[in-house]
């Protein structure tokens, strides 16, 4: 067993109270890592108290009917006596609730490129396509007998989403190996598919609106969509997200972007995606970051969208000259 995994296991074993943290606007990788790790710890050590922090103040939209949100508030009295584990979170600013600071000690497990150190023990490895794959490997090394179907289902869900159903280039042989081991536990894959891919009619209408907003630049190598401030309300969409996935897989497009107004944060936010070219360095200039081919950003104002478009076009021109 790798030293870092052994260190994490020993630290978890030394605490009776454990607080799990995920990032804001959580996806299935963040939530799956939390739920999978919690279920495993409760199965292998029932006496331990394990709490996922922030479920009491998050919109039920993010559960997708798959994760059961416990809306009971977890007080700082519990957190201050606990080991905190931050999962799938690239930087401290993105930790949901920011109450990890009250923990006695912190562990961070993440597959994003490291931009800062925020925990006592950190296992950061961008070669993994999903944090859930890291957690799965950790748990199989810890004690494979306790990786039961409910735990496996949560972890598999996170791997499926962050690899785009194993279609993204970040999928590697070890991903498929660990996915196979998780599937062998016998959980129901249909529940994952339903939660991820079933859409209601109003969502389909909103998808059509997003498509109508797509603009092509740089000989159609760059595509972007800027969603109007009132567009989510107009289509009765409860939770605001970038919807960048709607621009995926357009033939000829190398880089794509979407921007939207987040009324809860009172700021314009967005996402950048790329087929092969690293784009996280552009997002980092605009209060953001992420993976090489998938990154997010937060803008000071709507005018900054024009600056990002300019930077993407300049970047594509530079790459074209090199190749």
Residues 28-85 have pLDDT tens digits of 999 999 999 999 999 999 999 999 999 999 989 899 999 999 999 999 999 999 999 9
Residues 159-192 have pLDDT tens digits of 999 999 998 889 999 999 999 999 999 999 999 9
Looking at residue 321, its pLDDT comes to 60
d(CA 19, CA 307): 40
Question: Once rounded to an integer, what is the mean pLDDT over residues 238-243?
Answer: 78
Question: Once rounded to an integer, what is the mean pLDDT over residues 103-122?
Answer: 95
Looking at residue 323, its pLDDT comes to 43
* Residue 260 · residue 289 · CB < 8 Å: no
Give the closest residue to 172 by CA, choosing from 122, 137, 124, 143: 137
Residues 201-229 have pLDDT tens digits of 999 999 999 999 999 998 889 999 999 99
In the chain, what are the domains? 3-196 (3.90.1640.10), 202-322 (3.10.310.30)
Residue 274: partners with Cβ closer than 8 Å, 6 or more residues away: 254, 255, 256, 292, 293, 294
The alpha carbon of 102 is separated from its chain's Cα centroid by a whole number of angstroms, namely 23
Range with lowest mean pLDDT among 87-101, 192-206, 229-243 = 229-243
Query: Mean pLDDT score of the chain, rounded to an integer?
Result: 94
pLDDT at 197 over 90: no
pLDDT at 273 over 70: yes
Percent of the chain's residues with pLDDT above 90:
79
pLDDT at 123 over 90: yes
Looking at residue 61, its pLDDT comes to 87
């Amino acid at each position: 067993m790798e030293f870092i995994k052994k260190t994490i296991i020993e630290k978890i074993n030394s605490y009776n109270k454990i607080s799990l943290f995920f990032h804001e606007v959580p996806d299935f990788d963040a939530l799956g890592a939390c739920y999978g790790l919690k279920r495993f710890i409760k199965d292998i050590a029932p006496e331990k108290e394990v709490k996922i922090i922030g479920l009491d103040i998050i919109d039920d939209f993010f559960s997708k009917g798959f994760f059961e949100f416990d809306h009971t508030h977890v007080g700082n009295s519990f957190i201050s006596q606990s080991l905190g584990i931050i999962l799938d979170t690239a930087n401290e600013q993105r930790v949901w609730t920011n109450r990890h600071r009250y923990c006695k000690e912190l562990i961070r497990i993440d597959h994003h490129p490291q931009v800062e150190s925020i925990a006592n023990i950190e296992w950061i490895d961008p070669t993994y396509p999903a944090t859930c794959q890291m957690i799965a490997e950790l748990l199989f090394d810890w004690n494979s007998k306790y990786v039961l179907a409910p735990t496996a289902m949560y972890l598999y869900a996170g791997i499926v989403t962050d690899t785009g159903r194993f279609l993204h280039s970040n999928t590697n042989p070890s991903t498929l190996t660990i996915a196979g081991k998780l599937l062998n536990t016998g959980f129901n894959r249909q529940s994952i598919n339903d939660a991820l891919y079933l859409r209601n009619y109003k969502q389909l209408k909103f998808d059509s609106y997003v498509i109508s907003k797509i603009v092509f630049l740089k000989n159609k190598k760059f595509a972007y969509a800027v969603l109007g401030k009132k567009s989510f309300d107009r289509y009765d969409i409860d939770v605001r997200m970038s919807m960048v996935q709607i621009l995926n897989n357009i033939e000829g497009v190398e880089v794509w972007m979407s921007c939207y107004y987040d009324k809860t944060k009172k700021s314009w936010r967005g996402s950048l995606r790329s087929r092969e070219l690293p784009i996280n360095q552009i997002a980092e200039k605009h209060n953001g970051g992420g993976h090489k081919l998938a990154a997010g950003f937060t803008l000071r104002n709507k005018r900054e969208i024009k600056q990002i478009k300019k930077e993407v076009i300049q970047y594509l021109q530079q790459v074209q000259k090199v190749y």
